[in-house]
Structures are given as C-alpha cells and as structure tokens.
Structure 1
Amino acid sequence: MPESLDCGIPYTLIFPDIEIKGKKVLIQLPDGLKQFSLTIANCIREKYGVEPIIHMESIYGACDLQYNQIFSILNPDIIIHIGHSEYPNYIASPLSLPENIRKRIVFVKALSKIDVDETLVLRALEILNSYNVKNISVALTAQHTHLYNKIFNIISNKKYNIIESNGLAPYYEPGQIIGCDFRPVLNKKIDGYIFLGGGEFHPLGLYLATLKPIAQIDLYSNTVRDFTPIGAKYYKKRLFTISKAMEANHWGVIIGLKTGQYRPFIINMIIKMLSKKQYVLLSSENINEINLRSIDNDWYDAFIITSCPRIPIDDLIDYEKPVLTPGEAYMALAGKIDNYMFPW
C-alpha cells in the first residue's frame, strides 16, 4: 500500500509501495514546493534513514528529470521526484529515460491539504451557465486529484450532466491534466470545464487543447474566475503567429535535449513536412529568448520547437518571428488555420 507522510507542510506526501533505501538520495521539487525543501529533506532523512540532497534546479515535470548530469556526477541511489506525475514512457524516445534509470526514480504525490468548498463549485457552474454549457467535465492538477470525486458529486447532485474522466492509468488520476497532455479529459461531448488549480499554465493549455469555456477554481486564493476570455486572447495570438509563418521559407527546427523531450518521431515528421522548404536543425537543452537570439539572423523566417509544446506558448509568444509547436507548424505549412492543433 502507498505510504502517507505528513511532514508538517501544507501537502501530504504519498510514497509508492516500494522500499526507499540507499545512503544517497536526491530530492527534486517543483518551484512551488522548494520553500519546504529543508523540512521535506529532514522528514525523509528521519523516516527512511537516508542522506538527502536537495536539487536546486527548476524542474518542470517528469519530462525534465535532468538525470544525465545527476547520475554521471552525483550518482545517487534514488531520485525522489515530488509533485509531478510520471511521464508516459511511450510519448518520448526510450533514449530519454532508459529502463535502468527509470527504476531508480521514485515519483511521490504531493496532495494539497486545502479542501474545496461547495460554494466555489456553484460559482464555477454559474460561469459555465453563462455559456449555455450542457455537458460538463472536471479537470485538475496533480496536487488536487483527491478532490475529483467530491467535485463530481457536487455537480451530479445539482442535476448537471457531467462527463466522467477515467484518467490514464497508471500515469494520471481521473480528471488529471499536465501542461502538455490533456487526454484524460478530452471528449467531443464536453461543452465546458471546471478546472481546479492555480495560475494560468494548466487552464491555458486546457483551453488551447479544447477551445471550450473554462471556469477556474483557485483554492490558494479562494477565488473563481472565467478563464475563457484569457484563453481566447492567447488563441487569437497563436492564429496570428501561424498566419505569419505561412510565408516562411527558411526554418529552424529545434531539437530538445531535456530528459523526456527528445522526440525523434516528431523531428522526422517535421523534416518531411519541410521537404519543399529550406531548414536547419538546431539543438538546445534550455530553449529561451536569449539562446534563440544568439542563433537567429536574417536567414531564419520561423522556428519549430520539437520538445516542450509550451515553450512557444508561454516563453516565446511575443518573439518577433513565428515560433511554433509541431501542430502549429503543420497548420502553417498546410495553409490551414481552421482546425487548431495543440499541443502536438
């Protein structure tokens, strides 16, 4: 049975049913949990008798484990990766996370201790009512997955038609989404979503993947907002960027080197798409405006990022040249913007 560990922080840590052993353990945390890193490290040391090392680098998900440097230099017995769900191993290349490495990584859930109040759900339903939504689904982030059934039951008791999510076992719980994978909640019958989670990262991805109304419940600020206008604004920006790229003849194809983000099947697909264009293959572990400008010159008309589909959306949306996801590149090269493709 999974083991629940309360370290005196606002999250309950759920360890899988495996033995935590070894003298050297590396702890990886998302940025939002790093403020509790010392408490978590001491808690794990006391519970399991291991020597923890806190990883300071930003970790954006299980596709960004950075194991190459970690195992070649520190060589820990185990990486304890807290707060993110395991990345489906069939999405990325097996080179990204070999099986002998995967066995040394422990994925630990961090469930928020904040409960959801029925009044917040009712306010979210009011927002969806304004869009005449009939079929509702619930989406949430990893730290709120234990609240799915509660929200589902509230909506059901109010006589709304709710479409259930079965998750994506063994990786995602019912209703759970990550920034680049929304399959557990995709259904053509769904008219709108109640999303449980903070910030704009996840609801924006959900909107771009569905183009459906979203009412967001943020438990950390105890607020409810209509996310639909925000998503629509980004959507219009993406269509404008795609339309600019339709005239591009010289392309830069960026190969991602982060763990879980090297996707050769996407790279090969794009090369075929560019058969009548001129292109250059580029590679980078960290793709941002600084290193993009370092390579950019008058030759390039547009860029395609083959690794994380959120980089063009969140980090490079205002770059003066089009920076596209693979799906957006397909639209630009096909000359079609009527069927938006996100995230792939």
Structure 2
Amino acid sequence: MDSRIHLHELIAQVKQRNPQLVCLQIPEGLKFNVTEIEDAFSKENIPVITILDPSFGACDIADDKAKLLGADLLVHFGHAKMMHTAQNVIYWPVFYDFDDRFVQDAVAALKKDTFFSAHKKIGLFVTIQFHSNLEKIRKGLEEGGFEVHTGKGDLLEGQILGCDASARNTISEKCDAFLYFGDGYFHSLAVAYASDKPTYQFNPFTKELEHLNAYREKLLRVRSGLINKAMDAQTFGIIVCTKKGQMRKTLALKTKAMLEEAGKKAYLFCMDHITPQSLIGVQCDAYVNTACTRIAIDDAQNYTKPMLTPAEVEILVGQRTFANYKLDEIRHFGTKVE
C-alpha cells in the first residue's frame, strides 16, 4: 500500500492554466511534504505560497485567502470537490494504492470474523483517500461470497464524510450490515451513529476489524443527558461558522425562531474556528452548533455548557421525539449548503 501525490500530473494541470501565483492549501497530514511540494513547483518556475492554517476538509476551502494573497489559482490538497467556489481551484486528493494481494488478505480477515461473516449483503463505504480502490475492494468482497452495494449520495459513489453519510440512505434497505474501509473514526462513525444496522470498520493499516455499534449506544446516552441538561436553559447561543462549507445561516435562523417560539432567548454568534476558549465570557446557558456537525458530538466533553445540534433542539422544544433521534448532517448541493 502506498500514498500518491502525483505531483507531475498536478503541475501539468497547473501549467495549462498559466497562473501568475499559485496558492497551496495543505492538510495536516501532508505538512511533512510541504517543502518537497514547493520545490517541485519552483523547478518549473511556478511561484507558489502555502497556507499552513489547519485545513479541515473541502468545507474549509481557502479561496478567500488565496484571493487576498493575490493568487490566481488555489490548489487544495487531500480532498475532493464539495461545492462551487468563485476562486479558480484545483482539488487534488491524495490516494492510497492497494495491490491485489492486500485486498485478498483484507477479505480473508473479514471472513474470519464470526459476526461479520454472518452478513451477506454489505454496504461498502470509503473516504476519498481510498476511493481509487473502491472497485477493487468490491470485487474482492464479491469473490469472497458477499453481495456488495455502494450508494451514491451528494458525494462520489460509495464516498462518505464525517458530516455527510448520505450514500448510506440509497442502499440501506438492501443491506444487512455496513462496512467502512479506512482508518480513523471521524468518517466511519457518521454511518454508525445514523443507523441501527450492524456497522464495521476495517483499518487497512492495522488490518483490524472493529464493531462500531457500541459507539452509537454510547452516543445516544450522552446526547440524551445533554438534551435533558439543556431543558432548564433559558438563553441559547446559536453558532454560525464562516467557513463556506459549514455556513448554515438559514438553519441558524430557523433554530433561533424555534427556540423563541418555545419561550427561550436566543442569540446568533459567528466564528471561523469554533473552540471552547472562544466562548469564555459569553453569558449563555447552552449552545447550538450549526457548523461542522461533529463539533457538538465529538467535542461535547470540552464544553462547560450543553452544545446541541439543530435536530436536538427539535427534541428540546417537543417537535421530535428522542426515539426518532436524527444525526445532524451537512448536505451539499452545488453552491448550496443545507
């Protein structure tokens, strides 16, 4: 298995656009390659400047910063296109390449698991880093005796994000279980949180299979406790993010009206990077996050006041029952973020 940046192909595309200055946006995992990447551009006499601010995904596109820097082209590394931008952008995912033997070993490990092998109809998901191998993984599973489905949501076929697992919705009724093929929990838990079907994760680096349903059970217990705690809150701060792919102002206004109709006081706040430190001194009893859907979920323990999702506010005011708990997701339709 190997990761590929394919700089020669990228530079060829950049040359076709004949930019005067190229701005590079690098995710944390590629920062150890940043000087190598700049050197490759310099050898071709292409002026570059690299943004080293944290990049949280294609939702966090730095086209405004590129424009401020006077660049006429932005290269966004590590992620696939999520939305339209006004600035000239090349999205450049970095893929992991598997050989056939690796996939065969992975399927053999899956078949050895008593619980996983009991399922025959599998919904398969990957992130963009593993997407170039999707068909190879599908074929390996099918040769191993599984019926494999890959749904198409707002993103590429079979692709999910931690904030958008809509690919799951198109195949859920066809599947006995879900399998996420990749590392880390940010993306895989989006599937586990939003479904009561058996959900598994195979980590290609450790070659370990993990059952994720216990995470959903724990999530529901934690979220129930936070909603109950927020029942007594009288003042709510509703957070709007200025990152283009996370800005849901319409949803924030709707949530504000919902709280006010329930007799609560609601305030609108905006931030680019949402942290507990940014809220120090603000006099609110609870908060509602309309930015990255996972801020309220993954970082709940870091906030001293309850941090709810918009869907949880519906439960708070009696418009939804907890039995019908809904995971907050950001849906992307071209230029529109919902």
Q: Pick the TM interval, shorter chain.
A: 0.7 to 0.9
Q: Which runs of 5+ in 2 are unaligned?
A: 330-338
Give the secondary-structure state (helix, strand or coil) at the position aligned to 1:63.
helix
What code does the residue aligned with 1:50 have? I
Equivalent positions of 1:1-344 (< 5 A) are: 10-13=3-6, 15=10, 19-46=16-43, 49-72=45-68, 74-89=69-84, 97=85, 100-101=86-87, 104-115=88-99, 116-127=102-113, 129=115, 132-166=118-152, 168=154, 172-186=155-169, 187-189=171-173, 190-274=175-259, 275-276=261-262, 277-295=264-282, 297=283, 300-334=284-318, 336-344=321-329
How far apart are 1:273 and its partner, in Å? 1.3
TM-score, structure 2 as length reference: 0.84
CA distance in 1, matches of 2:310, 2:112: 36
Q: Kindly tell me: are residues 261 and 113 of structure 1, through their superposed partners in 2, closer, same or farther at Cα, counting changes over 3 Å?
A: same
Task: Return the letter of the residue paired with 2:269.
Answer: L
- The aligned amino acid for 2:293 is P
Q: Which amino acid aligns with 2:192?
A: Y
1:242 is aligned with what amino acid? I
Q: Which amino acid aligns with 2:161?
A: I
1:272 CA displacement: 2.5
Asked whether the equivalents of residues 64 and 259 of structure 1 are also in contact (C-alpha less than 8 Å), the reply is yes
Counterpart CA distance in 2 for 1:321 and 1:269 is: 22
Rounded to whole Å, the distance in 1 between the matches of 2:306 and 2:111 is: 37
Task: State the shift of 1:128 in Å.
Answer: 7.5
C-alpha distance in structure 2 between counterparts of 1:114 and 1:157, whole Å: 17
Q: Is the 8 A contact 2:23 2:74 kept in 1?
A: yes
Paired residue secondary structure (2:317): helix
TM-score by length of 1: 0.83
- Which range moves more in the overlay, 114-123 or 61-70? 114-123
Q: C-alpha distance in 2, partners of 1:110/1:21?
A: 23
SS at match of 1:107: strand
Distance of 1:163 and 1:240 partners within structure 2: 36
Q: Which amino acid aligns with 1:266?
A: L
Q: Mark the CA change 1:119 to 1:131 in structure 2 (over 3 Å): closer, same or farther.
A: closer
Instruction: Name the CA distance, whole Å, in 2 between partners of 1:132 and 1:196.
Output: 18
* Aligned partners of 1:262 and 1:307 also within 8 Å: yes
User: What secondary structure sits across from 1:79 in the alignment?
Assistant: strand
Tell me the SS of whatever aligns to 1:152: helix
Equivalent position SS for 1:233: helix
Q: 1:190-225: per-residue Cα shift (whole Å, max 9, x none)?
A: 332211111111112221122432221222333332
* Counterpart amino acid of residue 308 in structure 1: C
TM-superposed deviation, 1:233: 2.3
SS in 1 for 2:323: coil
**Distance (whole Å) between structure 1 residues aligned to residue 113 and residue 312 of structure 2:** 30
AA of the residue aligned to 1:62:
A
**What is the total number of aligned residue pairs between the two structures?**
317
Q: Distance in 1 between the 2:266 and 2:114 partners?
A: 44
Is the contact made by 2:24 and 2:74 (CA closer than 8 Å) also made in structure 1?
yes
Identity within the alignment, %: 25
Query: Contact 1:195 / 1:217 at 8 angstroms: preserved in 2?
Result: yes
How big is the shift at 1:28?
A: 0.9
On the 8 A contact 1:203/1:216 being kept in 2, the answer is yes
Conserved 8 A contact 1:128-1:192: no
Gap change, CA 1:27 and 1:128, over 3 Å in 2? farther
Deviations 1:262-296 (A, max 9, x none): 2222122212211222111112111111112232x
